[in-house]
Structure 1
Amino acid sequence: MPTTTPPVNGQVIGLAHYASRALLEAVLARTGTTFNQSVTLRAVSDNGGTVERDWLVQRVAGALKITESTATETVDETTELKLLDAPTAGQVTLTESGRELFEAIQAGGREIAARLYAGIPAEDLAVAGRVLALVTERANAELADA
Structure 2
Amino acid sequence: MSTTPTLNGQVIGQAHYATRALLERAVAPLGLSFGHVLALNVLADGAVDPARLVHRITSTLKTDEQAVREVIAHLVDADLARVDDGVPEPQLRLTDAGHATQRRVGATIADTTTRLYGDIPTDEARVVAQVLTLVTQRANAELAALPA
Pairwise TM-score range, normalised by the shorter structure = over 0.9
2 CA distance for matches of 1:84 and 1:119? 36
Secondary structure of 2:16's partner?
A: helix
Secondary structure of 1:4's partner?
A: coil
| Structure 1: runs of 5 or more not aligned | none
**Are 2:27 and 1:28 equivalent residues in the alignment?**
yes
Secondary structure of 1:116's partner?
A: helix
Amino acid at match of 1:120: I
- On the 8 A contact 2:49/2:92 being kept in 1, the answer is yes
Provide the TM-score with structure 2 as the length reference.
Answer: 0.92
2 CA distance for matches of 1:56 and 1:21? 21
Aligned match for 1:88, one of 80, 85, 89: 85
2 CA distance for matches of 1:114 and 1:30? 21
Deviation of the 1:3 alpha carbon: 2.4
Secondary structure of 2:84's partner?
A: coil
* Aligned counterpart, 1:15: 14
Secondary structure of 2:2's partner?
A: coil
Q: What is the number of residues matched between the two proteins?
A: 143
Deviation of the 1:7 alpha carbon: 0.6
- On the 8 A contact 1:43/1:60 being kept in 2, the answer is no
| Structure 2: runs of 5 or more not aligned | none
Amino acid at match of 2:6: P
Amino acid at match of 2:12: I
1 CA distance for matches of 2:18 and 2:76? 29
* Aligned counterpart, 1:75: 72
**Are 2:58 and 1:51 equivalent residues in the alignment?**
no
Identity %: 38
Secondary structure of 2:48's partner?
A: strand
Secondary structure of 1:92's partner?
A: strand
Amino acid at match of 2:60: A
Pairing of 1:85-124 with structure 2 (within 5 A): 85-89=82-86, 90-124=90-124
Once superposed, what is the RMSD of the aligned Cα atoms? 1.1
